Amino acid sequence: MKKSKPPSRRAEIHQLYQVYAAGLETLSARALLTFLHKEQKELTANEEKAESLIDRFEINETENSSMTFEGFLRYMESKECCVFNQAHTSVYQDMDQPLTSYFISTSHNTYLTGDQLVGQSSLDAYVSALRKGCRCLEIDCWDGPDTEPVVYHGHTLTSKILFKDVITTVGQHAFEVSAYPVILSLENHCSREQQEVMAEYLISILGENLLIAPLDHPTAGDLPSPNKKKVVVAEALSDLVIYTRSVKFISFSHSRDNQNCYENTSMEEKKACKLLKASGSDFVEHNQKFLSRIYPTGLRMSSSNYKPVEFWNVGSQLVALNFQSPGLPMDLNDGLFQDNGGCGYVLKPAVLMSTQMRFDPNSSHHKRKSTYLLLKVISGSNLPLPRSGKALDPFVRVEIHGIASDSCRKNTHTVKNNSLSPRWDTDMSFTIRLPELCLVRFCVRDQTGILSSEFVGQYTLPFKSLKKGEPASAGR
């Protein structure tokens, strides 16, 4: 057979194809199996797996079950070769641990679509958050006209929506993408009369989906696990609060001696930051027993976000972000919570739950063997053009987000004037002490000056969800 002509794009994949095709025009099932073993590190793959890939991605009639370059390219650009381990796109973690054992996807002022002063409040914001897997929604409740409670950011010019419409929307969309419990964080500013109206709406609209009595749960801790029927848990209105009654945080010692398992604390980011820096190990221990919610400082009028990683590092379960604000913090949040099937609950690693040894994420002395991440940034394809229409000068930044001693970043070189098929072929290595607390972020940037660059696109995932082998695809 003749060699296939070089393709007009993805030359790097064509070169890889030619290596394993060994001069033939098509790739045999046996040659594809060799590729799976050597490059993709799929050591358990057999010839049946290779033949199934050919059946899925090859559309041409080929001799003896083989794959053309076009079929190989379809395979390489599919989810099968995504850098994210596809086994983690389904719920695979133990879902029978107490709620304190999980990071829970949490939204701050969920009703807002813009800033905190004059932004619009919208039911669509709740739908959007729920469809992203959010499992803790915030509802700020105030007295409204005609005994109808309203939701908005109090004492501001943000628009108002009806509380009953919010609850109806939650009831309709709560379990579209996740079967696990939704927590309603009700910031209650209503009079007693309108609180009674709120309670009536919660019961009448949510019906049997509203948790109104303690569950008979088998978890070893005092809080139930996420594995119960689809329920909505209210976090205010005393008669409806079962497991998430909010109490003021005084000190870790006070909580240890006085706080009940069904009570949780909620604190502003600045206070939480001071606590984790002063006594990180105490914060970790506190979060083994109790739920803690962190929310953005009131000074973030533009609805900007803090980096959530440092609060996950001490085991805080409910790290609330403004979901309407894109950027690094939400990239990290989306990256973490795409794990475990995107269900909104991610099991905390053992280091945060161990009662045998104290853990302080601020310490630079962790008695752990280092993990080495070796990767190669090969190429990009069809990068979006800026508004100017000028071709990009792209480079890739790989970032590690974890405990302070693990966090770092490295860049490839810049490829000039190439948005269609930039090629970097850059090897990188990272030394990581606590990979179970790490997120890896691949960020493409456009070099606009000697010291300046602009965001083009990114992809973030947990270190533990990285698929071994090369090459792999990633992008947003």
Query: In this structure, which amino acid lies at residue 276?
Result: L
Cβ neighbourhood burial of 291 (10 Å; 0-12, 13-18, 19+):
buried
Q: Which two tokens stand for residue 116?
A: 């905190």
Query: In this structure, which amino acid lies at residue 366?
Result: H
Q: Residue 432 in contact with residue 370, Cβ under 8 Å?
A: yes
The DSSP letter of residue 413 is: P
Q: Which two tokens stand for residue 173?
A: 């969309």
The DSSP letter of residue 5 is: P
Q: Which two tokens stand for residue 212?
A: 């109104």
Would you call 153 a catalytic residue per the annotation?
yes
Cβ neighbourhood burial of 231 (10 Å; 0-12, 13-18, 19+):
buried
Count how many Cα atoms sit within 13 Å of the Cα of residue 33 in the half-sphere of its side chain. Answer: 13
Place of tokens 């007693």: 192
β-sheet bridge partners, residue 409? 399
Catalytic residue among 14, 108, 286, 401: 108
Catalytic residue among 14, 37, 88, 153: 153
Residue 202 to residue 277: CA distance in whole angstroms: 39
Q: Which two tokens stand for residue 216?
A: 């008979």
Residue 441 to residue 322: CA distance in whole angstroms: 20
Alpha helices per DSSP H over 61-185: 69-76, 123-131, 163-173
The DSSP letter of residue 56 is: H
Q: Residue 335 in contact with residue 476, Cβ under 8 Å?
A: no
Backbone angles phi, psi at 439, to 5 degrees: -115, 145
Alpha helices per DSSP H over 214-327: 252-258, 269-278, 280-289, 309-312
Whether the bond between 386 and the residue before it is cis, its omega within 30 degrees of 0, is: no
Residue 262 to residue 273: CA distance in whole angstroms: 24
Active site residues: 108, 153
